[in-house]
């Protein structure tokens, strides 16, 4: 009985759960005696471990300090406190207001500041300051091992290498050729001033004259003006004189490309003397010392022109003539009429074409067509009609006269037929005949032929007699008016 009751009591004790100890009961607090150095069994995740009391005490101190630091981080975030190996708090020497202290601040900066933009509004990628901000100049350190006193206050200048013979010709030739198109001597002077001509300076007039010998008369006039403009700005009188000496020596080679080079060079020399860019003693210096026939011919031509200017007052500014666009209209009309009259006398189509090209007035060729048709109407002969028709056909085939200029010339004749018929009563019939033959020869098209004005036989006859009687009456009235004596009225 006693044995059975003892067993029951043991079972009851086993079933009663043991009271759990608090976690802080297993570790001595900081206020307790620190002399306890035994091992304490602790349960971690259901496992019982034993740890020395010293290490547990150090862990508790570190955890306590970390909690204190986290609590005060918002207030003393810039101080940079840390822990030593012994668990003591180490105060940083970095002040809270230093940039390094701000880097350690983990607080959000969204609420800081007054809402002003960064960098005064000059922020952003690739921007280093606000507009107008001036940075201080870097001061040179005299103690710098790379310091060189000779590099201070240095002024750098662009050095242009002098041109040699081949480079000179490739560079200056396009400048002169462009000048023949625009005629602006100031632009040429500015371009040449930018080049380092060096010893090739005296070859500029020589190159310009050589190019002008193979060009038109208007280009030779521009060349004479260019030499006069460059002398004193880019060239000297000695440079011009040296160039003409070289041109006289190279005349045998220039004649191969320009057969009239001696005569034209003589005119260039005379024009240069008249413009005071070549001394008057230039020609006299060659007397008795000329071996080349071409040079002698050029100097003789220059001497003759200078004597003519002295005796007859020849103007050298019109020595080469002026370009077609610079001539007055009345002068162009006279030259066109002279050209047509010479053609009717000689019948040389090639010479007439050459003279028309030398006028350099492609925009004025409609006047040539107009005057040619008027000559056909006024001549009243079949020979003039056939010669003018052959000339127009040749000029149109060689594209000297364009289709547009030809059409404008015929249309001008159509519009003036009312006035032309007064002087030439049979002008309508002659015009119809010429227009029809021009169409058959392929000079004009059908549309231009159909625009030709015409009158019937009766209208043409009536028109003839009307013009005839009108002329008689007009002459009679003029005669009577001249014989009339008008007496003054008495008041």
- The contacts found for 418-423 with CB under 8 angstroms, 24 or more apart, are 420/374, 420/377, 421/463, 421/467, 422/467, 423/378
Q: How many distinct structural domains can be found in the chain? A: 2
Domain that holds residue 301: 165-318
161-170, 324-333, 345-354, 459-468: which has the minimum mean pLDDT?
A: 459-468
Query: Does 451 lie in the same domain as 368?
Result: yes
Q: What is the pLDDT of residues 260-286, one digit of tens each?
A: 899 999 999 999 998 889 988 888 888
Query: Does 412 lie in the same domain as 293?
Result: no
Single out the residue in 318, 351, 380 at which a domain terminates: 318
Query: Does 385 lie in the same domain as 296?
Result: no
Query: Does 169 lie in the same domain as 314?
Result: yes
Query: Does 341 lie in the same domain as 300?
Result: no
Q: How do beta strands 39-44 and 47-52 pair? A: antiparallel
Query: Does 456 lie in the same domain as 338?
Result: yes
- How far, CA to CA in Å, does 330 sit from each of 12, 326, 335, 336? 150, 12, 9, 10
pLDDT band with cut points at 50, 70 and 90 for residue 488:
very low
28 closest CA partner among 9, 46, 42: 42
Q: What is the pLDDT of residues 235-255, one digit of tens each?
A: 888 999 999 999 999 999 999
Local structure of residue 231 (DSSP, 8 states): B
Query: Does 354 lie in the same domain as 240?
Result: no
Does residue 160 lie within any of the structural domains? Answer: no
Residue written as token pair 């009429």: 337
Share of the chain above pLDDT 90, in %: 25
pLDDT band with cut points at 50, 70 and 90 for residue 477:
low
Tell me: pLDDT of 119 over 80: no
Whole-angstrom distance, CA of residue 180 vs CA of residue 223 = 8
Q: Please write down the HEC assignment for all residues of 151-206.
A: HCCCCCCCCCCCCCHHHHHHHHHHHHHHHHHHCCHHHHHHHHHHCCCHHHHHHHHH
Which has more confidence, 249 or 156? 249
Whole-angstrom distance, CA of residue 67 vs CA of residue 71 = 6
Query: Does 276 lie in the same domain as 371?
Result: no
Does residue 81 lie within any of the structural domains? Answer: no
Query: Does 352 lie in the same domain as 398?
Result: yes
Domain CATH for 404: 1.25.40.180
The pTM assigned to this predicted structure is 0.49
Does residue 413 lie within any of the structural domains? Answer: yes
pLDDT band with cut points at 50, 70 and 90 for residue 209:
very high
Query: Does 373 lie in the same domain as 281?
Result: no
Single out the residue in 291, 318, 345 at which a domain terminates: 318
Which has more confidence, 490 or 124? 124
Over range 437-441, report the average pLDDT. 92
Q: What is the pLDDT of residues 1-44, one digit of tens each?
A: 444 545 544 544 444 444 444 444 444 444 444 444 445 455 54
Whole-angstrom distance, CA of residue 237 vs CA of residue 228 = 10
Q: What is the pLDDT of residues 371-382, one digit of tens each?
A: 999 999 988 788
Does residue 449 lie within any of the structural domains? Answer: yes
């Amino acid at each position: 009985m006693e044995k059975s009751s003892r067993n029951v009591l043991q079972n009851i004790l086993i079933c009663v759960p043991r009271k759990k100890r608090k976690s802080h009961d297993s570790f001595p607090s900081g206020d307790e005696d620190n002399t306890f150095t035994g091992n304490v069994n602790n349960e971690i995740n259901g496992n019982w471990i034993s740890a020395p009391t010293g290490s547990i005490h150090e862990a508790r101190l570190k955890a306590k300090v970390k909690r204190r630091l986290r609590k005060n981080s918002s207030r003393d975030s810039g101080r940079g406190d840390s822990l030593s190996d012994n668990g003591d708090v180490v105060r940083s020497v970095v002040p809270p207001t230093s940039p390094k202290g701000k880097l350690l601040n983990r607080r959000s900066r969204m609420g800081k500041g007054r809402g002003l933009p960064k960098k005064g509004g000059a922020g952003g990628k690739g921007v280093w300051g606000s507009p107008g901000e001036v940075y201080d100049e870097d001061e040179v350190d005299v103690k710098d091992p790379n310091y060189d006193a000779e590099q201070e206050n240095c002024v750098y200048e662009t050095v242009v290498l002098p041109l040699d013979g081949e480079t000179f010709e490739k560079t200056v030739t396009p400048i002169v050729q462009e000048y023949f198109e625009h005629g602006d001597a100031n632009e040429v002077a500015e371009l040449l001033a930018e080049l380092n001509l060096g010893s090739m300076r005296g070859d500029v007039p020589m190159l310009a004259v050589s190019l002008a010998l193979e060009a038109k008369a208007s280009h030779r006039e521009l060349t004479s003006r260019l030499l006069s403009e460059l002398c004193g700005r880019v060239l000297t009188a000695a440079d011009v004189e040296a160039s003409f000496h070289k041109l006289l020596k190279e005349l045998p080679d220039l004649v191969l490309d320009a057969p009239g080079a001696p005569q034209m060079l003589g005119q260039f020399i005379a024009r240069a003397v008249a413009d005071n860019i070549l001394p008057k003693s230039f020609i006299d210096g060659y007397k008795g010392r000329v071996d080349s026939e071409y040079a002698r011919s050029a100097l003789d031509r220059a001497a003759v022109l200078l004597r003519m200017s002295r005796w007859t007052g020849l103007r050298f500014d019109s020595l080469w003539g002026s370009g077609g666009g610079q001539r007055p209209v009345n002068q162009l009309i006279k030259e066109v009429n002279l050209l047509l009259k010479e053609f009717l006398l000689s019948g040389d189509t090639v010479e007439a074409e050459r003279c028309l090209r030398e006028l350099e007035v492609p925009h004025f060729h409609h006047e040539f067509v107009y005057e040619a048709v008027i000559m056909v109407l006024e001549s009243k002969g079949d020979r003039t009609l056939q010669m003018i028709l052959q000339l127009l056909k040749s000029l149109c085939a060689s594209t000297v006269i364009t289709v547009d200029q030809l059409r404008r010339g015929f249309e001008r004749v159509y519009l003036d037929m009312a006035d032309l018929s007064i002087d030439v009563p049979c002008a309508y019939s002659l015009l119809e005949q010429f227009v029809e033959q021009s169409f058959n020869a392929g000079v004009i098209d059908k549309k231009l032929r159909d625009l030709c004005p015409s009158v019937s036989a009766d209208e043409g006859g009536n028109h003839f007699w009307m013009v005839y009687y009108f002329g008689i009456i007009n002459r009679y009235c003029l005669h009577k008016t001249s014989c009339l004596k008008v007496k003054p009225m008495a008041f």
